[in-house]
Homo-oligomer: A and B are copies of this chain.
Amino acid sequence: MRRAQGFDGALAATRAAFLGGCSATSNVLAGKVFGIPVKGTHAHSWIMSFDEELEAFKAYAKALPNNCIFLVDTYDTLEGVKRAIEVGQWLRTQGHEMIGIRLDSGDLAYLSIEARKLLDNAGFPKAQIVATNDLDENIIQSLKEQGARINVWGVGTKLITAYDQPALGGVYKLAAIRDRGADWKYKVKVSEQALKVSNPGIQQVRRYKRNGEHIADVIYDEQADLKAGCVMVDPLDMTRQKRIAADTEFEDLLKPVFRNGNKVYELPKIAEIKERAQKSLQGFHSGVKRFVNPHQYPVGIEKSLYSLRTELILQARESVL
């Protein structure tokens, strides 16, 4: 929360993180507002407010015997693990089970492997190891490759701030307009930069699929007839074209929310949105999702819309000669 833009910014970002695949949040307000599961541990200050780490763990275990994930790195991580085990053993005599430990600094690969050994040897094979500390997808991948024994990944700063891409370069432009009852007029915003020329039309996005796998996303005009299949054009290089057969499975991605001033859409429950997002991600080939040199997923404009766009751009540019 302290990295986000105020608490409401944190709420919006927490919701997005949950929809994108996270399973829980340490943002208690987001739990209350959206029903996202709330998980977390005590802070270093809890340990430091006692004279001894062991004393701090014990006090925590007495207060919350069913919610014990001990943060073990305040002084010395592996000594902290041993003290957590000691309190875990005491908890068992009280009929409770320690959930696990949390590592928040140091060499997470080495420390998690050593902590796993200590926990296993002490009879806690089910105790979970939570890791945090400026994690991102690359560090997590590297830790996995190193054989780190981490069960739960706590990601904060790099996720909530969209650290490696803090802004998505989208814009909205007028694409079509009409007076009530009149025909649509299609509009285009030209620019000296090809990437910044807008698309005209009443747009829809069709995602084509084969055997459950997404094969291409095509922007087309709702008034176009795609019954005979479609040809997709790369707007930055019109010689790159892809023909999609008529019988290809598809899904139209845009859903109308307002029609003629009336709301025609009900927002699904958050669990449903999350499930939909996860299913959608599964439809992309793993090559598209890898971090290094990912395969470029085919995205383009339907050919007749591309032609109309070209014509409108030429008109707009000629009109000022």
Q: Which residues of B contact A105 (CB under 8 A)?
A: 191-193, 196
**Whole-angstrom distance between the alpha carbons of A316 and B53 in the complex?**
11
**Whole-angstrom distance between the alpha carbons of A13 and B9 in the complex?**
10
Q: Contact flags (1/0) for A69-87 with B, using CB distance below 8 Å?
A: 0000111100100000000
This chain: copies in complex? 2
Chain B residue, CB-CB nearest to A13: B5
Judge whether A246 is part of the interface by a CB distance below 8 angstroms. no
* Segment from A92-100, A156-164, A291-299 that makes contact with B: A156-164
Q: Which residues of B contact A158 (CB under 8 A)?
A: 167
Contact A174 B44 (CB under 8 A): yes
Q: Which residues of B contact A10 (CB under 8 A)?
A: 5
Distance in Å from the Cβ of A75 to the closest Cβ of chain B?
5
Chain B residue, CB-CB nearest to A75: B316
Q: Which residues of B contact A187 (CB under 8 A)?
A: 48-49
Contact A167 B5 (CB under 8 A): no
Judge whether A166 is part of the interface by a CB distance below 8 angstroms. yes
Which residues of A are at the interface with B, using a C-beta cutoff of 8 A? 2-13, 44-45, 48-49, 73-76, 79, 105-107, 157-158, 161-163, 166-168, 170, 173-174, 177, 187, 189-193, 196, 316-317, 319-320
19 inter-chain pairs at a CB distance below 8 angstroms, sorted by A residue, are: A4-B5, A5-B8, A5-B12, A6-B9, A7-B8, A9-B9, A45-B173, A49-B174, A49-B177, A49-B187, A73-B191, A74-B189, A76-B317, A76-B320, A79-B320, A106-B191, A107-B192, A161-B162, A161-B167
